[in-house]
Amino acid sequence: MPDPRTEPTPAVSLQGLTVAYGGHGAHGGRPALDGITLRIQPGERVALVGPSGAGKSTLLGLCNGTVTPTSGRAQVLGTDPARASSRGLRALRSRIGSVHQHLNLVGPLRVVHNVNAGHLGSWGRWRALRSLVRPLQVDEARGALARVGIAGHLHQRTDRLSGGEQQRVALARVLVQDPDLVLADEPVSSLDPTRADEVMGLLCGVLSRDRPRRTLLVSLHDFDLAVRHCDRVVGLRQGRVVLDLPAADVDQQARERLYELESER
Ligand SMILES: Nc1ncnc2c1ncn2[C@@H]1O[C@H](COP(=O)(O)OP(=O)(O)OP(=O)(O)O)[C@@H](O)[C@H]1O
């Protein structure tokens, strides 16, 4: 049993968390998350996998405070998002980087502005507006783009880039934000397999090498990508954790158990 005095404070700690949207469970009374207990240590790269509707996005939403639990407790970077003041929640969110399938990039803006959006949590409003007129911290933006392999695109219009390149802009935005925790919800599901593999390599490589204690929690439909790029694989099914293994220990049997048809259970 680990000694609580020497264990690091977890980056994410969920205890008996249940989410029942609208006060009722989804799918005929079943909650979206059903008594989830999970600890993720700083620096871990964790993949969340499981069938559609298993609760992966809901779990990520709990971590950034956009979803409120019905019961149970969460600590994310030492803060309970559901009990934090609005200032506390803002402070927490400034330490969390997000990567989504929908990239939330402003297409007509030049790439440098979208990368600099990573500073918005720390820049005041005037600094942000000034930067829109004449970009600030350009060298930092260029450096971040270089690290994701598209340094030459700094001044291009963002919507002229390919989907994979735009995903790299979103990663560069996270790099300049420099968060302690990255939450990625289906970050590569719109990319072809080769691009998806490259972007996952950057997400789990550059983003975590950048700061070794940075924690990554990424939901994925592609089980192979999860095993290939992450340290640990957590499988959700019907709102419960049914698999939690180091990626190296995941075998075919574990995979089949996770995805077997609902009717077979
Ligand atoms: N805002 C909401 N209101 C009501 N029910 C919701 C809401 N969001 C999700 N649900 C339900 O909660 C359950 C879990 O959904 P969630 O999106 O977390 O699953 P998921 O594993 O991310 O699915 P997918 O892989 O398809 O994105 C589903 O039954 C879904 O219909």
pLDDT tens, 51-65?
A: 999 999 999 999 999
Whether 58 and 73 have beta carbons less than 8 Å apart is answered as no
| 258 within ligand 1 shell (Cβ under 6 A) | no
pLDDT tens, 123-146?
A: 888 888 888 888 888 899 999 999
Return the residue matching tokens 């559609």.
Answer: 52
Pocket probe for ligand 1: among 58, 188, 258, the residue whose CB has the most ligand atoms within 8 Å is 58
> What is the position in ligand 1's atom list of the atom closest to the CA of 67?
1
Please give the distance, rounded to the nearest whole angstrom, from the Cα atom of residue 26 to the centre of ligand 1.
8
> 100, exposed or middle or buried, with CB in 10 Å at 0-12, 13-18, 19+?
middle
> What is the position in ligand 1's atom list of the atom closest to the CA of 50?
21
Name the pLDDT band for 163 (thresholds 50, 70, 90). Answer: confident
Q: What is the ipTM of this complex?
A: 0.96
| 21 within ligand 1 shell (Cβ under 6 A) | yes
Whether 134 and 157 have beta carbons less than 8 Å apart is answered as no
Pocket probe for ligand 1: among 14, 18, 21, the residue whose CB has the most ligand atoms within 8 Å is 21
DSSP the chain: ---TTTSPPPSEEEEEEEE-GGGS-HHHHB-SEEEEEEEE-TT-EEEEE-STTSSHHHHHHHHHTSS--SEEEEEETTB-TTT--HHHHHHHHHTEEEEESS----TTSBHHHHHHGGGTTTS-HHHHHHHHHS-SSHHHHHHHHHHTT-GGGTTSBGGGS-HHHHHHHHHHHHHHH--SEEEEESTTTTS-HHHHHHHHHHHHTHHHHSSTT-EEEEE-S-HHHHHHH-SEEEEEETTEEEEEEEGGG--HHHHHHHHS-GGG-
| Residue type (1 letter), 243 | L
| 27 within ligand 1 shell (Cβ under 6 A) | yes
Whether 194 and 173 have beta carbons less than 8 Å apart is answered as no
> What is the position in ligand 1's atom list of the atom closest to the CA of 219?
22
Cα separation, 31 vs 33, in Å, equals 5
pLDDT tens, 97-121?
A: 998 878 889 999 999 999 999 998 8
pLDDT tens, 221-246?
A: 999 999 999 999 999 999 999 999 99
